[in-house]
Structure 1
Amino acid sequence: MNKGLIALACGGLAIGMTEFTMMGILPDIAKDVGMTIPEASNLIALYALGVVVGAPTLVAFTSKYSPKHILLFLMLLFFVFNGLFAFAPDRFTLLVSRFVAGLPHGAFFGVGSVVAARLAKPGKEAQAIAMMFTGMTIANLAGVPLGTYIGHHYTWRITYGVISLLGLLTFVAIWLWMPNFEVNKNNNIRKQISYFTTWQAWLMVAVIAIGTGGLFAWISYIAPMVTEVSKLPADRVPFIMVLVGFGMFVGNILGGKLADTISPSKAAISSFSAMAICLVVVFFTADIPSFAYPMAFITGMISFSIGSPLQMMLITNAKGAETFAAAGGQASFNIGNSLGAYLGAIPIAYGYAYNYPSLIGVVMATFGAILAYVFLVKVVYKNMNR
């Protein structure tokens, strides 16, 4: 296996842990620093804001440097500010460091996606990108549960200290294993930014933000759905989340192979369509306890099979601005995260049960499939016929 891809997967592991571990240890952080849980939830929002801000800006302003040096810089930022977060002495430092820790996220996956495609053998580009995202799926499968356990039983500061050190480990791995690709001579800020003056770019933003919102409408409320609708004991929730994480691990690999086999756009349409069907099944079987386990795995697998196809759609249809497009895609994923969670809360606010957010997910995933089909017809086929 290419060691450069292993270095990128290490980065995916570190970033996945810093993003998702927060949800599990939020009460511990709130108690430790004297915040209410709603106040502490700003740490989640600030990180997401950091991703959205950092993805395009860091890529644009580092475009004159080689990919290896950009990745090293991003992981140095990750190491420093996650470390500062772990040792933050006051609320202000806690909030600022959490925001800045989110800045490298989208840029790392944006640059990393382009680098992974360049490291791959011809026809295996999506699978190489999936290898990078394997780190994030391992984070959900093992890293997040472990970090949550440490945060609950010892202190959340140890958890984020370890996450910071994972960033340093990634820095070393990139330094040792990543080839030093030449700087793209045609790269410049104006050319990168001009990508977002096209309607194709905004169509991709809509595909990702709306379509992947289906995943987050479901997963944001999976714990109360399992306990209140499926009537499983609360101690089964961690096991359910492990099954989701394992499903994401498998789905990520399958998504890469599917994109290389039938094309990224067709793979995206297939994945979004399957996600919609899967969420319909979740809605109608949520009150059957025995169904909670297989549906956690299957839904996680189907939902995460979308990642690599979407990244390939961005890269292959943004000539001259591949890195910027891929980074913007990561910002769009985070918009989908917020949008799915927000819209999924609406039926709950009106008194409906916790399986109803899955119906919101069905609608969002369906629109994702429709928009991906529009992209296939209006962009991909049009470019092929030129």
Structure 2
Amino acid sequence: MTRPNASPSATDATHSLAVIIFWLSSGAFAIGAGEFAAMSLLPYFASEFHASEAVAGHAISAYALGVVIGAPLIAMFASRLPRKHVLLALMGVFAVGNLLTALAPSMWTMDLARFLSGLPHGAFFGIAMLFAADIAGRDRRAQAVSQVILGLAIANIVGVPAVNYLGQELGWRLGFAMVAALACITVVMVWRTAPYKGPHPDAHPLAEIDAFRNRDVLLTLAMGAIGFGGMFAVYTYFSAAFLATTNAPAWGVSVILMIFGVGSTLGNIVAGALSGGRLLKAALALQILLGVASGFYAFSVGNVILMGASLFVIGLGGGLVVPLQTRLMDVAGNAQTLAAAMNHAAFNMANALGPWLAGMALTAGWGWRATGGVGVALSLGGIVIWMAMRWSDGRRPVETGATA
């Protein structure tokens, strides 16, 4: 039953939009479950292939390399293609990559399969968000972007634990097969529910390259690559710190990582609400939150309750991806597809930078608290870049309320 002041056509349009975004979010869920579950299943495929954990870790690096390489290349050459068709192809490649992972006969073939799985990652997120924002309209685009990303956040609550548990109980190959199956379902449902949207009329591969010459695009990507690194500095070493500094049972790690996933989910929802017309202010608020939470984590190491609370708040700060992704839509001009895809490549760079710096701090003997300190330092770096973004906005005319 509809409200008296709501026309059936408006209600149907709202319902249709919700269904489309749900299935785009389902694709994000599949990608998140596959990416993070691969880390938790590493000991099991390392054992089967008789490889050290360091060698098995090449599969994780191969996936990240696929993201960084695939995001710009696919975005440039797919810019003149209908976005719906590109999304279907990308999710299809992701399904094939995970199926090949589940069937891999050796470590090097698994590395190749993980590389293939990573290729569509950044481009899918970028194009899915542009697609959702386009059909939602300007007033609701930030919420549409946050709802697509929500699938990635929920994957940390449900998908990763489920894939990890079944992988432990029934074999790691089943975990990747489940991800492939979900990706196939997403292909079918996006094909059935999403409307046909032609390519952007001004899109062109050479025009997409302009993103790399756009100061505002580069600054936004830099804030993601550096400011977001603090979250990964803490998250990567949390399990080891928890087991080394507390007397809590090992299952406590899974519980707190689920709490982190809840925080991440809420962070994306809140960021979507905050970002409407206030992108830079929302980005600054979330960057400060990440820095404060990282500092709190540094002092909480060894205390189970406080470590859980700090991981929850760090998850909230992860909503930073929403205002940064939405800002890219404002400043990218005709390079929309490449800029949106590169945002996720930037976050994968953060995933490399944060753990690398935190690992250096641990190697130097500074202790587990140092990972939180690295998070604070990277958040400060993000704030410095935010100041440069603000300065850049002051040097060009902007649409009132678009990015302030």
TM-score range, shorter chain: over 0.9
CA contact (8 A) 1:84 1:97 kept: yes
What whole-Å deviation, never above 9, does each CA across 1:159-186 have from its counterpart, x for those lacking one?
1001001110110111011111122221
Identity of aligned residues (%): 32
What CA distance in whole angstroms lies between the structure 2 residues aligned with 1:166 and 1:132?
Answer: 16
Is 1:313 the counterpart of 2:327? The answer is yes
Q: 2:301 aligns with which of 286, 300, 310?
A: 286
CA contact (8 A) 1:277 1:362 kept: yes
Q: Which residue of 2 aligns with 1:61?
A: 77
What CA distance in whole angstroms lies between the structure 1 residues aligned with 2:299 and 2:84?
Answer: 48
What CA distance in whole angstroms lies between the structure 2 residues aligned with 1:35 and 1:64?
Answer: 43
CA contact (8 A) 1:82 1:98 kept: yes
CA contact (8 A) 1:266 1:376 kept: no
Q: Which residue of 1 aligns with 2:102?
A: 86
Q: Which residue of 1 aligns with 2:287?
A: 272
User: What is the CA-CA distance between 1:350 and the residue it aligns to?
Assistant: 1.4
What CA distance in whole angstroms lies between the structure 1 residues aligned with 2:200 and 2:305?
Answer: 54
Is 1:44 the counterpart of 2:66? The answer is no
User: What is the CA-CA distance between 1:31 and the residue it aligns to?
Assistant: 0.6
CA contact (8 A) 2:275 2:282 kept: yes
Q: Which residue of 1 aligns with 2:345?
A: 331
Q: Which residue of 2 aligns with 1:255?
A: 271
User: What is the CA-CA distance between 1:294 and the residue it aligns to?
Assistant: 2.1
User: What is the CA-CA distance between 1:125 and the residue it aligns to?
Assistant: 1.0
Return the letter of the residue paired with 1:312: T
User: What secondary structure does 1:220 align onto?
Assistant: helix
User: What secondary structure does 2:333 align onto?
Assistant: coil
User: What is the CA-CA distance between 1:235 and the residue it aligns to?
Assistant: 2.1
What CA distance in whole angstroms lies between the structure 1 residues aligned with 2:279 and 2:239?
Answer: 32
Return the letter of the residue paired with 1:356: A
Structure 2 runs not aligned, ≥5 long:
1-14
User: What secondary structure does 1:163 align onto?
Assistant: helix
Provide the aligned length of Structure 1 versus Structure 2: 384
What CA distance in whole angstroms lies between the structure 1 residues aligned with 2:308 and 2:187?
Answer: 37
What whole-Å deviation, never above 9, does each CA across 1:295-336 have from its counterpart, x for those lacking one?
22222122x111111101111111111111010111111000
What CA distance in whole angstroms lies between the structure 2 residues aligned with 1:351 and 1:9?
Answer: 41
Q: Which residue of 1 aligns with 2:10?
A: none
TM-score normalized by structure 1? 0.96
User: What is the CA-CA distance between 1:380 and the residue it aligns to?
Assistant: 6.4
What whole-Å deviation, never above 9, does each CA across 1:2-39 have from its counterpart, x for those lacking one?
21111110110010011100111100010112211100
CA contact (8 A) 1:111 1:326 kept: yes
What CA distance in whole angstroms lies between the structure 2 residues aligned with 1:290 and 1:319?
Answer: 46
Q: Which residue of 2 aligns with 1:105?
A: 121
Structure 1 runs not aligned, ≥5 long:
none
Q: Which residue of 2 aligns with 1:199?
A: 215
TM-score normalized by structure 2? 0.92
1:160-239 alignment to 2 at 5 Å?
160-239=176-255
What CA distance in whole angstroms lies between the structure 2 residues aligned with 1:301 and 1:4?
Answer: 25
Is 1:342 the counterpart of 2:356? The answer is yes
Extract structure 1 runs of 4+ deviating beyond 3 A. none
Is 1:4 the counterpart of 2:20? The answer is yes
User: What secondary structure does 2:198 align onto?
Assistant: coil
What CA distance in whole angstroms lies between the structure 2 residues aligned with 1:348 and 1:183?
Answer: 48
